[in-house]
Amino acid sequence: VRSINSGVSSGGADRPRLTRTELWTKDVIEYLQYVLDELLQNEFHHSMPHGRDQPPQTLLGGFVQQKGIESMQVTPDGEEPSLHFKWLYMVRIVRWHYSEGLLLPSHIVEWVLHQLQ
């Protein structure tokens, strides 16, 4: 049986975990930003000929309506997955890692709010 008072403060033992969590959260946010930028760029270019006067919310309508990962097609070997697939995959990763305590929610919320501005 281990003594509760082992000589190591919980703050000191948690610091490496917090640092890893901060770095992982930063990496996840950077990749989310990359995929989101690519999605918005593709949606904008696809809608240009007939959608110049549409507000951004309308241009993204098809993207926002994608609900499930099962609705996307599987790509053949050697081809890169679609941006929608990457986005929905990352959303699932974020949900999973959040539930496991591997992400800092405040950083994710801050990033999402920044995107909405």
Distances, alpha carbon 35 to alpha carbons 5, 23, 31, in Å: 47, 19, 6
pLDDT at 116: 92
| pLDDT tens, residue by residue, 65-100 | 444 444 445 556 677 889 889 999 999 999 999 999
CA distance 68 to 61: 15
The stretch 2-12 carries a mean pLDDT of 52
71: DSSP letter: G
Among 109, 94, 106, which residue's Cα sits nearest to residue 22?
A: 106
Residues above pLDDT 70, as percent of the chain: 62
Residues 54, 51, 87, 77: what is their CA dihedral angle, to the nearest 10 degrees? 170
| pLDDT tens, residue by residue, 25-73 | 999 999 999 999 999 998 777 666 554 454 544 433 444 444 444 444 5
CA distance 59 to 39: 11
pTM over 0.85? The answer is no
CA distance 94 to 70: 18
